[in-house]
Amino acid sequence: MDISKDLTEKRKTEHIRISLNEDVEGKNITTGLENYRFIPNALPELSFEEISLSTTFLNKEMRTPFLISSMTGGTETAYQINQQLALAAQEKGWAIGLGSMRAAVENEDLAYTFQIRKYAPDIPIIANIGAVQLNYDFGINQCRQAVEMAEADMLVLHLNTLQEVFQPEGDTNFSHLLSKIEEIANSLHVPVGVKEVGMGIDEKTADRLTSAGIQFIDVAGAGGTSWIQVESYRSNNNIRKEAAEAFLDWGLPTAESILAVRKNNFDIPLIASGGLKNGVDAAKTIALGANLAGFGRLLLPSAVEKDVQALFLQMERIEFEMRAAMFGIGAGHIEELSHSERLVKKI
Tell me what the mean pLDDT of segment 178-200 comes to. 98
Nearest to 84 by CA among 123, 121, 120, 125: 120
Alpha helices for 235-292 (secondary structure H): 238-243, 254-264, 279-288
Instruction: Give the length of the chain.
Output: 347
164 annotated ligand binder? yes
276 annotated ligand binder? yes
13 annotated ligand binder? no
335 annotated ligand binder? no
31 annotated ligand binder? no
Is it the case that residue 241 has pLDDT exceeding 70?
Answer: yes
Predicted local distance difference test score (pLDDT) of residue 1:
41
Is it the case that residue 184 has pLDDT exceeding 70?
Answer: yes
62 annotated ligand binder? no
263 annotated ligand binder? no
Element (H, E) at 173: none
Strand partners, 158: 130, 195
Contact of 222 with 252, CB cutoff 8 Å = yes
Residue 87's SS3 state is helix
195 annotated ligand binder? yes
> Going along the chain, which residue ranges are E strands?
36-38, 55-57, 60-62, 66-68, 95-97, 125-130, 154-158, 192-195, 216-218, 270-272, 292-295, 343-345
Cα separation, 81 vs 290, whole angstroms:
27
**Predicted confidence band at 319 (pLDDT cuts at 50, 70, 90)?**
very high
Backbone dihedral angles phi then psi of residue 116, each to the nearest 5 degrees: -110, 5
- In one letter, which amino acid is 288? L
- In one letter, which amino acid is 28? N
69 annotated ligand binder? yes
Predicted local distance difference test score (pLDDT) of residue 312:
95
302 annotated ligand binder? no
DSSP character string of 310-339: HHHHHHHHHHHHHHHHHHHHT--SHHHHHT
Predicted local distance difference test score (pLDDT) of residue 271:
98
225 annotated ligand binder? yes
35 annotated ligand binder? no
